[in-house]
């Protein structure tokens, strides 16, 4: 995957140790090893008859490392008897082993920082950056960090987050699914924040549109880049008509981003890169759009919290949320961090939206389009129907029933874990009294 990503016709490759990765010890260590080797262009290998080699006919994409968020631990390594912060583990291994080599090769240690809710978390990252650079004798400011504004509290602190990282900031990034997840999570007790089916919550609904405009205006006023969101579609190989429609949606979404003033964007699959590049190259002839100041934009707190989202809650929407949540959790429990479902790449963020919507709908007893009230009994009935159906279609060794066991605690409007990944983490750790964690 690393070789294929670096061989893609893109400008950057974000190696994701967080939402698209299940943090088994093997995944974390082998992921670090693969990036170490890729940076030194010694990652080529053969698997059976197939050879994987880095291309030599062009400059490879710039590598960005996405460390895990501050809420996660790495239980396989302890410091003073306590699990180390997953953020520090991911950052520390990558920086210590690769920072000087990256600079020597003409790039640098670049990071993608997820899940922040406060400028104080940005300040902590800045302190970490300074300490790390001082420790190896590197000039302060060499590290660059792009902050993913994917929580509703962070949307109210964009200026402050940029300020805290002012010596290391390369910009802010619009999220999508994690942002919707955060809005539901933080206001889940308030019936005024109930949202319709996930498919109806697009980037053009009022609270999402306000967030995008504010992010672009804030970034460009401060002289940093404003990145667009991720296109989650993957090619539909067996249906040309459906594939064309999906790619048209990608093209329209990227056109919306570039016209709004974004300086770049993301795709989840290399096949989408040419579409995104064509849209941005055509509509953004300059290297960026820092000159698009968006002085026409005046966003208030009420705009960021405007939940006037048209749409309905349907049983089909409920079942889709159940399938996405179960599908992601089942893969995660087997050590796989993202799964293709209905030709979309689903990761932790989309699973969190699914889980949070189900919880919210049950909590407030909302009726479906057909008039059926969503309560605990109805939610669990549908959950077990979907789990049984998915299990029948899957091969031996699947973990759908284990996923359902955890998921049923999260969809009835009662218990609510801060993050699904924290809820599931003990299932994939190998650290125990019999196999002690590594110690510093």
Give the pLDDT band (50/70/90) at residue 395: confident
Q: Are residues 377 and 337 in the same domain?
A: yes
Q: Are residues 153 and 282 in the same domain?
A: yes
Closest by CA position to 83, among listed 394, 439, 369: 439
Q: Are residues 332 and 194 in the same domain?
A: no
Residue 437 lies in a domain: no
Closest by CA position to 141, among listed 103, 179, 104: 103
Is a pLDDT exceeding 70 seen at residue 206? yes
CA pair distance 320, 354, nearest whole angstrom? 8
Domain boundary among 305, 328, 343: 305
Residue 355 lies in a domain: yes
Residue 352 lies in a domain: yes
Q: Is the distance from CB of 407 to CB of 355 less than 8 angstroms?
A: yes
Residue 46 lies in a domain: yes
CA pair distance 221, 225, nearest whole angstrom? 10
Give the N- to C-terminal CA distance of the chain in Å, as an integer. 31
Closest by CA position to 362, among listed 381, 346, 343, 376: 376
Q: Are residues 39 and 113 in the same domain?
A: yes
Is a pLDDT exceeding 60 seen at residue 437? no
Query: Mind listing the pLDDT tens digit for each residue in 298-341?
Result: 999 999 999 999 999 999 999 999 999 999 999 999 999 989 99
Q: Are residues 83 and 225 in the same domain?
A: yes
Q: Are residues 366 and 287 in the same domain?
A: no
Predicted local confidence at residue 342, as pLDDT: 86
Max CA distance (Å), the chain? 65
Q: Is the distance from CB of 179 to CB of 208 less than 8 angstroms?
A: yes
The single-letter DSSP state of residue 305 is T
The CA distances from residue 227 to 205, 224, 263, 354, 376, in Å, are 19, 10, 6, 25, 40
Q: Are residues 258 and 202 in the same domain?
A: yes
Query: Domains in the chain: how many in total?
Result: 2
CA pair distance 358, 162, nearest whole angstrom? 34
Residue 435 lies in a domain: no
Q: Are residues 286 and 391 in the same domain?
A: no
Q: Which domain holds residue 362?
A: 315-427
Q: Are residues 331 and 282 in the same domain?
A: no
Would the pTM count as exceeding 0.85?
yes
Q: Are residues 207 and 135 in the same domain?
A: yes
Query: Mind listing the pLDDT tens digit for each residue in 1-45?
Result: 899 999 999 999 999 999 999 999 999 999 999 999 999 999 999
Which CATH number does the domain housing residue 416 bear?
Answer: 1.20.1220.12
Residue for token pair 């249906």: 239
Q: Are residues 231 and 326 in the same domain?
A: no
Which CATH number does the domain housing residue 282 bear?
Answer: 3.20.20.360
Q: Say if residue 80 is exposed, middle or buried (CB neighbours under 10 Å; 0-12, 13-18, 19+).
A: exposed
The reply to whether 9 belongs to the active site is: no
Domain boundary among 305, 331, 351: 305
- In this structure, the strands spanning 110-113 and 144-149 are parallel
Query: Mind listing the pLDDT tens digit for each residue in 52-110?
Result: 999 999 999 999 999 999 999 999 999 999 999 999 999 999 999 999 999 999 999 99
Q: What is the CA radius of gyration of the chain?
A: 22
Q: What is the rounded average pLDDT of the residues 361-368?
A: 97
> Which of 66, 144, 256, 355 is the catalytic position?
66
- Sign of the alpha-carbon dihedral angle for 311, 313, 314, 319: positive
* Residue 394: CB atoms within 10 Å: 13
Residue 433 lies in a domain: no
Is a pLDDT exceeding 90 seen at residue 172? yes
Predicted local confidence at residue 434, as pLDDT: 45
The reply to whether 127 belongs to the active site is: no
Give the pLDDT band (50/70/90) at residue 433: very low
Residue 288 phi, psi (nearest 5): -155, -175
Domain boundary among 305, 327, 351: 305
Q: Are residues 80 and 170 in the same domain?
A: yes
The CA distances from residue 234 to 29, 250, 267, 312, 412, in Å, are 28, 10, 9, 26, 31
Residue 241 lies in a domain: yes
CA angle 129, 131, 137 (to 5 degrees): 100
Residue 310 lies in a domain: no
> Which of 198, 263, 347, 363 is the catalytic position?
347
CA angle 34, 37, 92 (to 5 degrees): 70
């Amino acid at each position: 995957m690393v070789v294929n990503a670096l061989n893609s016709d893109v400008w950057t490759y974000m190696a994701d140790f967080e939402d698209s990765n299940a943090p088994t010890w093997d995944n974390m260590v082998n992921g670090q090893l693969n990036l170490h080797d890729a940076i030194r262009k010694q990652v080529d290998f053969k698997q059976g008859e197939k050879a994987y080699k880095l291309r030599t006919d062009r400059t490879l994409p710039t590598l960005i490392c996405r460390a895990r968020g501050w809420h996660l631990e790495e239980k396989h390594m302890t410091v003073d008897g306590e699990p180390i912060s997953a953020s520090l583990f991911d950052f520390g291994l990558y920086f210590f082993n690769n920072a000087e080599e990256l600079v020597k090769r003409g790039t640098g240690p670049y990071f993608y920082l997820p899940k922040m809710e406060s400028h104080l978390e940005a300040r902590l990252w800045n302190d970490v950056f300074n300490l790390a650079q001082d420790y190896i004798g590197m000039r302060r400011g060499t590290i660059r960090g792009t902050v993913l504004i994917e929580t509703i509290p962070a949307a109210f602190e964009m200026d402050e987050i940029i300020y805290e990282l002012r010596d290391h900031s390369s910009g802010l990034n619009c999220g999508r699914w994690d942002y919707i997840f955060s809005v539901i999570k933080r206001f889940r007790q308030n019936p005024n924040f109930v949202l319709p089916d996930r498919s109806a919550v697009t980037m053009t609904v009022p609270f999402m549109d306000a967030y995008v405009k504010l992010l672009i205006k804030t970034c460009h006023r401060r002289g940093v880049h404003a990145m667009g969101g991720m296109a989650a579609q993957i090619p539909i190989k067996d249906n040309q008509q459906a594939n064309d429609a999906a790619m048209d949606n990608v093209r329209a979404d990227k056109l919306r981003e570039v016209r709004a003033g974004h300086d770049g964007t993301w795709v989840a699959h290399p096949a989408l890169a040419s579409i995104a590049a064509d849209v941005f190259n055509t509509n953004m002839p300059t290297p960026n759009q820092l000159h698009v100041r968006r002085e026409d934009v005046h966003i208030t707190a009420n705009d960021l919290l405007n939940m006037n989202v048209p749409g309905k809650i349907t049983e089909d929407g409920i079942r889709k949320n159940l399938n996405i949540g179960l599908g992601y959790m089942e893969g995660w429990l087997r050590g796989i961090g993202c799964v293709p479902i209905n030709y979309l790449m689903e990761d932790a963020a989309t699973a969190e939206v699914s889980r949070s919507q189900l919880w919210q709908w049950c909590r407030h007893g909302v009726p479906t389009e057909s008039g059926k009230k969503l309560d605990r009994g109805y939610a669990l009935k549908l959950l077990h129907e979907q789990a049984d159906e998915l299990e029948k279609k899957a091969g031996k060794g699947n973990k759908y029933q284990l996923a359902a066991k955890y998921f049923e605690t999260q969809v009835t409007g009662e218990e609510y874990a801060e993050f699904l990944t924290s809820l599931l983490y003990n299932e994939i750790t190998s650290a125990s009294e019999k196999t002690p964690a590594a110690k510093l």
